[in-house]
Structure 1
């Protein structure tokens, strides 16, 4: 059984739960809108299915409602920021607004954000930058239960550590490359587990370090209390990028890296993010080459023959734009288990959600 809910109704339901969990109305609306946008974009892993974990994190004290970003250092082109364990959708948006303003004034900005609770879909922040004509690069680490095995390793030692690059394309859909450095995002394993699906071979190892297609090995403790792990994409290459994200997003930002035993009862997810923003206009290449050459290359890619099994050649960002149009019209479909988890999270803070 599944539930299909109009986006507007889902935003209202999520915001009601967040308000009951302690958020002011504007914060609840910001977080709810961001989560639903992830679902609309086709990324259910970063959507409203995260709400139960957020409520648990608030109740345990690891997530602080109504907390804003603080400026630790501001030299104009360098920003050191602290999210104070506030909602990542809020402090991340505040941080990006500061960084975008600096890049538009000075031509570039290097910004570190430490101690943000789960930032959600990093592509959202790249979209903020490209909307202002800026190139953006993001390197993020994840302090939670380590769910990804190092190349050559047999248990989880770090997080899914996303990397994101946004490039504005004049008169065309912008390039938004946003991916976990694991073969799949942890949230996608949660969705698959809730739907009762197996996943493709080669993504997971079980708690004994052996290959498995059961996503539950990284969602719930196994019989011995241990978890399995995701693998990095591209073997040593994805692993190397994940380590770079940990060092840049965690160590360089001051947010911290993972090197301690796991407490499976902790629900908070803490992110550090290094963001680099570049203004093509200030570089002097925007009018002379950047806009024309970027669009010409994308047009060249899409003009080629389409391979069997595909409808078209696409670039990063195209699938999300198409999904938003479809899901805004048709509604967002949630599996029964995910919906019941959302309903249960509401009950924890005194909110009864309607049956869908």
Structure 2
């Protein structure tokens, strides 16, 4: 056999071996991550302590007892409630920043607060499933308001458990086309306005004497969100058209994509982070990234970044230096500690990651 042919065969075998090794590494990462908890919130709940029969005894000790207790489940709902209500209520927020609401396990004190509250505000659309079960099971007759469901009555739908039916490790012809509601409605600033209005109405029903205060504060929130909505559109327009594509850890940016003209090309997980990516899904995402020529993919604050980093390496693209806040707000002191700050932070991350020209938001 000619020497050159022998070398070609050897080179082919070497390249094939490298490719198989890379895929095997990805599969090992999938297995290790799926075997572990993504966040500390997925740990089993501790045994619940007995609950006092006197409602006043259940009121969290750090909240004023002379004001009505309002419980808000997730960070977006909590922040908007705080902005609108101010010091007129005792506000108890259940899910901390940086915690995955899809996986959150209620604590004994959460149950106490829910059973004592005069108003319970939660996202709905199965966004915080374990808390929703607890809320619906509570014997408390206080209003229980799914603010996201009130705000958006015709939500986006995606195929259950995946991103565009590709997460399940089965052949395409055997995939069930079941639909699941996308609960991440707040990534569209206009939906945020509707959430604020739903919260304001619930607060006014609770404390009619403060209705004027709630109306004024809601108007401020609406004004800022209107300006942010316009600003986001202007920022996305600076990204080169060929780069306007999103690949993320899980499929949480559908409302952002639709509102601001930047389609989601792929995601490792589906609507909920409870669904873990299969080896088939990982390989498909690598192929999608290569074919769509996405320059940058994005990790999320509350989800283990190892797998998305491995996918990026295999697809020969970079992971953005900044992370996306997909399931809630950032911790105190971060640029995403408020709802409006989160919208601005995510837009900056996307614009800078995809080659746009970021200009800081200025409230007029």
Q: TM-score, normalised by structure 1?
A: 0.25
Q: TM-score, normalised by structure 2?
A: 0.24
- The structure having more radius of gyration, on CA atoms, is 2
RCO comparison, higher one (Cα < 8 Å, 6+): 1
Q: Where is the strand percentage greater, Structure 1 or Structure 2?
A: 1
